[in-house]
Structure 1
């Protein structure tokens, strides 16, 4: 394993422990969230050198069902080779996503003249709308432009689950997550249009949750927000900045900012969850 992938593995093990208890089940570790918020997943146990069998996968899935958790697994293919085959043999659907690392300084991407870029603060008056952008963006069927825009964002903001909103605000206050947003200055596309975040540990930062309202896509907003986050992550002292892309088309957006593909991030779920 390269030093770069080893650093990313340590990051993956460290980040969930802030808000979850780690249950080690041999070659797999399940992160059991404390309190409200998105449930975590299972991933290879840090430092475990042996293979992961179909029986290991079945036992972990049973534990996740017992806790009423999603049967979800995440790992890096090049770090844990063979786990994809075991997951598929266990009846799971495996998604293979480009994993990219920032190479050098990020390329700053200018936003359109009618859009502002900036970091999000805990006292931001648009905080609920900023968070709602991600729900609408990732609820769309694909990454194409569409009709869902500010109206759908605002309706979603009004119905946000209290636990998710509280967890999000807490992460802003304690600095475990850094969020950025692109906002329309006026008109039909006013307010938060694109959001993204990074989480960090062990001098490694992962950019996550970059999403644009379908009605505001194809304007370069995702690349611009990613560039803001990458710049901030480096300025905060992180030595490695990485992310995973949904597919090759999305990866090309990040390549504009200076990211280069180095590995493959895998997510395994039952077909009905995928």
Structure 2
């Protein structure tokens, strides 16, 4: 699964507005923001970069005033991490990823599950972006660009889902990328703090996963943070498969 997830990462990064490829790496950039989660690189599966390849990659980031940063499944390209560490890259994080297949997907009982919807208006995309910003504790701020990214995800073959408070207002949601290499990535599952513990994350996760299987994906994968969220995903049918490594080069 590591090679499939890494192949997906390459294809998905090539969808970015600006893409530069060099020395076995693909770098994807989002103009107008220096957010490191929207500007990073990943290696091709099996890449064996030289010192010169790594230096060229660093230069691509430096000339844009951005933090040199990579996300990848290390077992899909074992030679990459040592080459990056030799150049001074340090570990930001190591995240486990979970995978769901049509065989393991478990849908929550409909009677007890919150009603899940797909955004259709500009206002709903904007409100979902604001809800996710609150859910992630200010990691990013609500913006027209964030709402537009959610809209593009849905329009390009991915899926976006949310749950509305019965009294009005969006309280949580998530998105799933368009599939590539037979798999798709579910990300950004978030619920406003005041509404947690009501099954919103579970309902959104199951709905998005089911939607991607209906569109032909053979699997859906995600990363998680914390044992609480892991239990939510495992109840939906997600199972541990591997790890992803996040490396960046501190300023000189």
Structure 1 length normalisation: TM-score? 0.76
The alignment covers a number of residue pairs equal to 244
Aligned to 1:107: 106
2: distance between equivalents of 1:167 and 1:5? 26
Residue pair 1:137, 1:213 contacting (<8 A) in 2 also: yes
Aligned to 1:147: none
Structure 1 regions of 5+ residues with no counterpart?
Answer: 142-155
Aligned to 1:170: 152
Residue pair 1:98, 1:248 contacting (<8 A) in 2 also: no
2: distance between equivalents of 1:114 and 1:204? 26
1:162–1:183 CA distance, 2 compared to 1 (3 A): closer
Aligned to 2:9: 12
Deviates more, 1:249-258 or 1:123-132: 123-132
Offset at residue 192 of structure 1 (A) = 1.2
2:236 counterpart of 1:267: no
2:80 counterpart of 1:64: no
Offset from partner CA, 1:53-91 (integer Å, 9 cap, x none): 677545433421221233321001221235445545514
1: distance between equivalents of 2:135 and 2:119? 18
Residue pair 2:129, 2:143 contacting (<8 A) in 1 also: no
Q: C-alpha root-mean-square deviation of aligned residues, in Å?
A: 2.9
Residue pair 2:89, 2:247 contacting (<8 A) in 1 also: no
Aligned to 1:133: 131
Q: Where do 1:1-274 residues align within 5 Å? A: 4-33=1-30, 35=31, 39-48=38-47, 50=48, 52=49, 56-57=53-54, 59-81=56-78, 83-88=80-85, 90-103=88-101, 104-110=103-109, 115-121=114-120, 123=121, 125-139=123-137, 160-172=142-154, 174-186=155-167, 190-199=168-177, 200-269=179-248
1:56–1:138 CA distance, 2 compared to 1 (3 A): farther
2: distance between equivalents of 1:24 and 1:47? 15
Structure 2 regions of 5+ residues with no counterpart?
Answer: none
